Amino acid sequence: MNPQNGYDIEDISVGMSAETAKTISEADILLFTAVSTDTNAVHLDEEYGKTTMFGGRIAHGMLSASLLSAVLGTRLPGPGVIYLAQSLRFKAPVRIGDTVHAKVTVKEVVVGKARVVLDTVCTVGGKVVIDGEATVMATSRAKRESGK
Amino acid sequence: MNPQNGYDIEDISVGMSAETAKTISEADILLFTAVSTDTNAVHLDEEYGKTTMFGGRIAHGMLSASLLSAVLGTRLPGPGVIYLAQSLRFKAPVRIGDTVHAKVTVKEVVVGKARVVLDTVCTVGGKVVIDGEATVMATSRAKRESGK
């Protein structure tokens, strides 16, 4: 582990996983709208939402995706990590009251480059709502101890 | 255009583009932290941030990425769009006070499937901080008028 309690690249192996979960509230949607400026009616207007294929308001896809960033930045690898890339496929909508489980699983470790590739998935009630892949750079004990 | 003032697939051609911009404030970072649960110190602790390669606090990468979602959901294609996929490469940090410009440019249109692929890029002062690609489904005038 590094001094910030994140995993060093030397601590990480294929198959390790971490997760978090959050119940999405109306307040989350309002705050995310303020931050993102994404005022699409499908997120804010219940009457309009009812006329869509979703049958009501849905959360911003990036709101659920941000939970993946949280797992990477706070759990695995955790503090010290640098986010390099993320792919996201939005598979199903998330509604107010849904509890989103965000899970990351290590699928590849390149120790020399301190590079980690992780499967990233968000589920609601066991159903996949987002899948994709993250690439991050972890801290390195070898590099730290060599003073570079 | 559809009744929500979004572009139908029939209105979209390769090369069309749209953008938005937002100055990232400390409040954005605090709100994004609340929504995402991403409490990584590099976003919240200026003293810790100063010890990192970034030299200070940086915004969450997904916060800047959310501006791309805003352009897609409110401008091009705009209301009625369904977000299918997004890839993101985080190229450089965004700091408090930076103005992030998020731009999307149509690179492929598949009318039959109402599918649009767009280049998506965020810049600060002309420098790319995020690049990637979005895939969305637009509304279809033909489908709407056929009543299907």
Q: Which residues in chain B touch residue A120, judged by CB atoms under 8 angstroms apart?
A: none
- State how far residue B147 is from chain A, nearest Cα, in angstroms: 14
Task: Please state, in angstroms and rounded to a whole number, the distance separating the CA atoms of residues A58 and A44.
Answer: 8
What domains appear along chain B, each with residue ranges and CATH number? 9-145 (3.10.129.10)
Per-residue tokens: B4: 């929500």
> pLDDT tens digits for A8-40?
999 999 999 999 999 999 999 999 999 999 999
| Cβ-defined contact of A37 to B48 (cutoff 8 Å) | no
Query: Is this prediction's ipTM beyond 0.90?
Result: yes
The residue among A70, A129, A130, A134 whose CA lies nearest residue B38 is: A70
Task: Please state, in angstroms and rounded to a whole number, the distance separating the CA atoms of residues A104 and A92.
Answer: 18
Q: Which residue of A has its CA nearest to B79?
A: A40
Burial class (CB in 10 A: 0-12, 13-18, 19+), B63: buried
The residue among B66, B70, B69, B50 whose CA lies nearest residue B58 is: B50
pLDDT of residue A148 exceeding 90, the answer is no
| Cβ-defined contact of A36 to B60 (cutoff 8 Å) | no
Q: Which residues in chain A touch residue B37, judged by CB atoms under 8 angstroms apart?
A: 20, 22, 67, 70, 74
> pLDDT tens digits for A51-77?
888 999 999 999 999 999 999 999 999
Task: Please state, in angstroms and rounded to a whole number, the distance separating the CA atoms of residues B20 and A89.
Answer: 23
Residues belonging to chain B: 148
The pLDDT of residue B105: 98
Per-residue tokens: A101: 């489980």
Q: Which residue of A has its CA nearest to B65?
A: A62
